[in-house]
Chain A
Amino acid sequence: MEKALKKYSPIFVLPTLLAFTIGFIVPFFEGLYLSFCQFTTVKNAKWVGIGNYQRVFADEAFLHSFGFTVKYAVVAIVLINVIALCLALLLTRNMKGTNIFRTVFFMPNLIGGIVLGYIWQILINCVLSLVGQPLLALNSQAGYWGIIILTAWQQIGYMMIIYIAGLQNVPDDLIEAAQIDGATQWETFWKVKLPMIMSSITVCVFLTLTNSFKLFDQNLALTGGDPNHLTEMLALNIYQTFYARAGLQWKGLGQAKAVLFCLLVVVISFAQLKATRSKEVQQ
């Protein structure tokens, strides 16, 4: 059977490979080419060299959106992972109603980002108007924390499930041995459970990191970049460059930003994977 599988594997891979080529590889290289062009529609592009890339670095709104995204990502990654891990610890203690809690925490993840964005916009505006603060469209501080709260609320449940799975995989005999050796609860967590779930942490940090950099629909729906592009993140900035601007020079610029953005996400996630992988232990 194994031999047969090996022999026919190209045939089994073919449909997926085809889909991957059509859906990813071809558009990626076409996009790379277009980032050196001036164009309105993709079939009608004129080569202009690296001019688009030079203009990216002169674009203050883009640089600001990069800074804003980093500020958001740092806080969101820490917040989401810490809270998700705490919830996972609480919900692996055989409490009553554990399953209900797990379901409830997981549910926000099932709602789309645009819908969530609008719901939270109403909620946050309501609160802001009650406490007499400027509304979201005028308040970049509220916008920043709004995006963090929204995405934390949305992603915590998902990360929690991954952590729960990791915690349940920690062998009972290890924990028992630690307890017999007189380890406190904290020591058991810090010295036994945490190293054992390092692989879950790698996955969760990877997911939250890439989600943070790619965040788009929540940003679009909640603040739309208001006020004055101050809460605009990278993906939204690229989208606005591409679609909200009229004129021949913008499409290529948006494309160049998108290529840089893709490289950035790839580099950062590889660096993170390398860093957390090195802390993983073999069971």
Chain B
Amino acid sequence: MKKLLALLLAGAMALSMVACGSSEPAAPEAETGSVYYLNFKPEQNDAWQALAAAYTEETGVPVTVVTAASGEYETTLMAEMGKSEAPTLFQVNGPVGLANWTDYCYDLTGTEVLGQLTSDGFALKNGDAVAGIAYVVESYGIIANKALLAQAGYTPEDIKSFADLKAVAEDITARSSELGFAAFSSAGMDGSSDWRFKTHLANLPIYFEYQADGIGSTAAIKGTYLDNYRAMWDLYINNSTCDPAELAGKTGDDSRNEFLEGKAVFFQNGSWEYGSLSAVYADEDLVMLPIYFGVGDEANQGLCTGTENYWCVNSQAEQADIDATLAFMNWCVTSEKGTTAMANDMGFVIPFKAAVESPNLFVKQDVAYTAEGKTPVSWNFPTMPSEEWKNMVGSALTAYAADQTDDNWAVVVKNFVDGWAAEYALANG
């Protein structure tokens, strides 16, 4: 019996040793280099995998695409960067995200792929160096259901300013029991949805302030247009599918589903929603309106168009891998296969010369608005000082929604203005 026990123990020990010495992954071919892309957008994972396989088949260069789970990009990137087989291609969300990774961004100056950009504005600069390049341009605004709008007796052409939007929304709310739908889908403040308001909607007061002051970023925001922000937020929460006090727990899916089920006419979101909306609605039923804010030249305001997705190349990778990565990026945005896949399979509008036209309705609308001479609202939220600032504003907005007093709004203003200065000092001090 004792012998048996000893044998068992010895066996277990041997097993654990074997487990420790599992085989090393095959070394990549050093001469040709390889590409490891850590992808940010889970929706496009399948399309990226297919594109990577197509590239490998064409050139023989191995391309690995790994997609981080939604909301886990920074965590995944940090873990992967610490490994010996680190990603060669990754992304940052603008100047603030870049702060983490400045030491890891290869200077893209003079690379072929940089020359393919349609405008210099899509390059992310770090001093004189080019740290990243935007690879997708997106638009957001107020998505409207034309059929429901017609049922309420309006057309999208009736809405040309904030005053129009307010009149239409309040009229729909007044008749909501008769119509059977509300004006706005719920402005959920759960983590899956609050970015629509603490980041995207908050872009507008920042944009107009930057415009008025002629600046592109600031250490201290003044909050000149926060009254308009409040008016807009009031409109969203008081003409919605649910009691404002319940917004704290409403998710992004709740909001989208309300729109898909025809319970609401308006839904503030962006071109990335086209996939899920077009599954239910035909193109002629949908329209994206600019977020009219009651400021500036509303007649000539376009959609909010910009990017917060920048490709960066890992400067600490082997030179062969860097070269392979640059070649892969260039192939993606110049070759027929690459550009077609990015436009059709991923639904992207890419800011490169060889871009193929995207079937995305909202993107086409953005192009049409711009052609009419309207000015797109640029994305200024990459200049927000930190995630913490967004969270503070979001938290105050949620509290205000539940109890709409001037005191609670004062907290939003305080977090917006004082919080900006404090967080800016923390990030840059």
Chain A residues in contact with chain B, CB under 8 A? 1, 11-12, 14-15, 18-19, 40-44, 121, 125, 129, 134-138, 224, 226-228, 243-248
9 A-B contacts, Cβ less than 8 Å apart? A134-B403, A137-B189, A227-B398, A243-B75, A246-B100, A246-B387, A248-B99, A248-B100, A248-B102
- Write out, one digit per residue, whether chain B residues 49-70 have a CB within 8 A of any chain A CB (1) or not (0): 0000000000000000000000
Contacts of B427 in A (CB 8 A): 246-247
Give chain B's interface secondary structure class. Answer: helix
By the criterion CB–CB under 8 Å, are A246 and B248 in contact?
A: no
Indicate whether B191 reaches chain A with its CB closer than 8 angstroms: yes
Contacts of B97 in A (CB 8 A): 246
Contacts of A224 in B (CB 8 A): 191
Contacts of B245 in A (CB 8 A): 129, 134-135
Partner of B16, one of A15, A40, A228: A15
Interface core residue of A1, A15, A246 (most chain B CB under 10 Å): A246
Contacts of A248 in B (CB 8 A): 99-100, 102
Indicate whether B109 reaches chain A with its CB closer than 8 angstroms: no
Indicate whether B78 reaches chain A with its CB closer than 8 angstroms: yes
The docked-state distance in angstroms from the alpha carbon of A258 to that of B319 is 36
Q: Given A125-B249, A244-B387, A245-B386, are A138 and B398 neighbors across the interface (CB < 8 Å)? A: yes
Contacts of B387 in A (CB 8 A): 244-246
- Write out, one digit per residue, whether chain B residues 343-363 have a CB within 8 A of any chain A CB (1) or not (0): 000000000000000000000
Quick one: closest A residue to B316, CB to CB?
A44
By the criterion CB–CB under 8 Å, are B398 and A137 in contact?
A: yes
The docked-state distance in angstroms from the alpha carbon of A137 to that of B399 is 9
The docked-state distance in angstroms from the alpha carbon of A44 to that of B103 is 10
Closest 9 CB pairs of A and B: A137-B248, A135-B248, A41-B82, A41-B81, A15-B16, A247-B99, A246-B100, A125-B249, A228-B395
The docked-state distance in angstroms from the alpha carbon of A245 to that of B389 is 10
Within 8 A of A (CB), among B377-427: 386-388, 392, 395, 398-399, 402-403, 426-427
By the criterion CB–CB under 8 Å, are A246 and B103 in contact?
A: no
Contacts of B74 in A (CB 8 A): 243, 246
Q: Given A135-B246, A228-B392, A245-B386, are A1 and B2 neighbors across the interface (CB < 8 Å)? A: yes
By the criterion CB–CB under 8 Å, are A18 and B20 in contact?
A: yes
Contacts of B388 in A (CB 8 A): 244-245
Contacts of B426 in A (CB 8 A): 247
Quick one: closest A residue to B79, CB to CB?
A41
The docked-state distance in angstroms from the alpha carbon of A121 to that of B96 is 32
Interface core residue of B96, B97, B189, B245 (most chain A CB under 10 Å): B245
A158 to chain B, nearest CB (A): 28
Indicate whether B104 reaches chain A with its CB closer than 8 angstroms: yes
B76 to chain A, nearest CB (A): 10
- Write out, one digit per residue, whether chain B residues 1-31 have a CB within 8 A of any chain A CB (1) or not (0): 0100000010001001100100000000000
B79 to chain A, nearest CB (A): 9
- Write out, one digit per residue, whether chain B residues 67-98 have a CB within 8 A of any chain A CB (1) or not (0): 00000001100100110000000000000110
A257 to chain B, nearest CB (A): 16
Q: Given A129-B246, A245-B388, A246-B386, are A135 and B402 neighbors across the interface (CB < 8 Å)? A: yes
Contacts of A227 in B (CB 8 A): 395, 398-399
The docked-state distance in angstroms from the alpha carbon of A19 to that of B191 is 38
Contacts of A136 in B (CB 8 A): 248-249
Partner of A41, one of B78, B102, B402: B78
Indicate whether B101 reaches chain A with its CB closer than 8 angstroms: yes
Contacts of A134 in B (CB 8 A): 245, 248, 399, 402-403
A119 to chain B, nearest CB (A): 14
Contacts of A247 in B (CB 8 A): 99-100, 386, 426-427
B321 to chain A, nearest CB (A): 17
Partner of B101, one of A40, A43, A121, A138: A40
Besides A44-B316, A137-B395, A247-B386, 5 new A-B residue pairs in contact (Cβ under 8 A), listed by A number: A14-B13, A134-B245, A135-B246, A246-B74, A248-B99
Interface core residue of A12, A137, A243 (most chain B CB under 10 Å): A137
The docked-state distance in angstroms from the alpha carbon of A82 to that of B74 is 42
Contacts of B248 in A (CB 8 A): 125, 134-138
B351 to chain A, nearest CB (A): 24
Contacts of B103 in A (CB 8 A): 40, 44
Q: Given A40-B101, A248-B99, are A138 and B402 neighbors across the interface (CB < 8 Å)? A: yes
Quick one: closest B residue to A4, CB to CB?
B6
By the criterion CB–CB under 8 Å, are B399 and A246 in contact?
A: no
Contacts of B395 in A (CB 8 A): 137, 226-228
Partner of B82, one of A12, A43, A228: A43
B90 to chain A, nearest CB (A): 12
Contacts of A14 in B (CB 8 A): 13
Contacts of A121 in B (CB 8 A): 249
